[in-house]
Amino acid sequence: MSEPRRVVITGLGAVSCIGIGVEAFVEGLRAGRTGFSPIRSFDASEFPSVVAAEVHDFDPAALVERLDPGQWGRSGQFAAAAARLAVRDAGIDPDLLSARRTGSIMGTTAGESQVLQAAVEQWVGNGLKNVDPRLPGMTPVSQIANAVSYELRLSGDSQTIPTACSASNMALGYAFDLVRTGQADFMLAGGADAVNRACHAGFYRLGALAEQVCRPFDVNRSGIITGEGGAVLLLEPLDHALARGARIYAEVLGYGVNCDARHMVNPDADSIAECIRIAHRYAGVRAEQIDYICAHGTGTPTNDLTEVKAVREVFGDRLPPVSSIKSMIGHTMGAASAFGAIACSKAIEEGFLPPTATVQELDPALGEGLDVVPGAARPASVQVAQNQGLAFGGNNVVTIFGRLR
């Protein structure tokens, strides 16, 4: 077996409520700008919580080149647009990607729930024979990765991973292994989800929705704000990136994954800590080398307490800064970890710590010495960053990124 290849990130694509395109997204992160607003994508008037983090100015036709938005659901549109932006950002010839072994691995939570909801409403309201014939073909969750492959004419692996809130970290790990082991030449990895009634209602019934603002780590936090968007990263072998003079944001050092299945919705600190340790071993780093943690950071009382407890189990008294970008873009579900990966990559490249924008009073129950980077970003040298994705059922995935050495 040949020596595993080093894998780097050379392209970033973001479609978010605080900016479309990686530079606009990062500008929003640095400023601590929030993207919460009254829900427009469905009638939320009967919910106590009527706020979400929607991408109101998303025009897929202005971003994609091949895909017909009218034939794809909103999640697929997000994925295809973010992937096209990542390829443009990488400055790589799209024809090279389509000619080589390039694939698409996308994470999601709700798939194409907006499409499914529309089909059901038409069926109930007008009868099965009057359902828009385009909708059944747009519904399968696999269409999210397929949208990327179609948009970029890719013929490699095309898989959608539906492991909810850690799904795009899982996608990144899978894509990393494919490139690292030489099974793929390039990979587009990330995630996409659209705000929808089903997720909003589900989190409301769990008592996990905030009414106006998501405040991770705050003593008065009350839950998540549902969000949407697409986030995609281009993974490329280091030697190829160097040969073409590509801009290298960060190196993918490794990842950890486990599933404890101990409880449907309550995370388990010991299991999360073990996932972090697995990631460190795979990446070949020690805890004291981590300069920043992009937390799962949902803003629910249970998640934040459990996640910080797990981090303390691994890091002891020496905690690196830990922040949550969900304070700005909401919980983008299957795209959440990919947005975190983009934040980590830019933090390494530009030297800053993404903030927890909305925290006002740190919860003392989280313990001493916790730096959540309140308010706005601040300068820092970030050599190694850790990105945490924690999903229901104990599906934990942690990715590790480092400055190229």
Least Cα distance to 382 among 246, 289, 317 occurs for 289
Active-site option among 165, 199, 214, 344 = 165
Q: Is 344 an active-site residue?
A: no
Nearest to residue 87, comparing CAs of 23, 152, 27, 26? Answer: 152
Cα 318 to chain centroid, rounded: 27
Distances in Å between the Cα of 345 and the Cα atoms of 208, 253, 254 are 29, 12, 14
| SS3 assignment for the chain | CCCCCCEEEEEEEEEECCEECHHHHHHHHHHCCCCCEECCCCCCCCCCCCEEECCCCCCHHHCCCCCCHHHCCHHHHHHHHHHHHHHHHHCCCHHHHHHCCEEEEEECCCCCHHHHHHHHHHHHHHCHHHCCCCHHHHCCCCHHHHHHHHHHCCCCCEEEECCHHHHHHHHHHHHHHHHHCCCCCEEEEEEEECCCHHHHHHHHHCCCECCCCCCCCECCCCCECEECEEEEEEEEEHHHHHHCCCCCCEEEEEEEEEECCCCCCCCCHHHHHHHHHHHHHHHCCCHHHCCEEECCCCCCHHHHHHHHHHHHHHHCCCCCCEECCHHHHCECHHHHHHHHHHHHHHHHHHCEECCECCCCCECHHHCCCCCCCECCCEECCCCEEEEEEEEHHHEEEEEEEECCC
Give yes or no: 56 in active site.
no
- The one catalytic residue in 200, 240, 280, 296 is 296
Output the six-digit token pair for 101: 């072994």
Q: Find the catalytic residue in 17, 280, 331, 344.
A: 331
**What does R_g of the chain's alpha carbons equal in angstroms?**
20
- Residues tagged active-site: 165, 296, 331
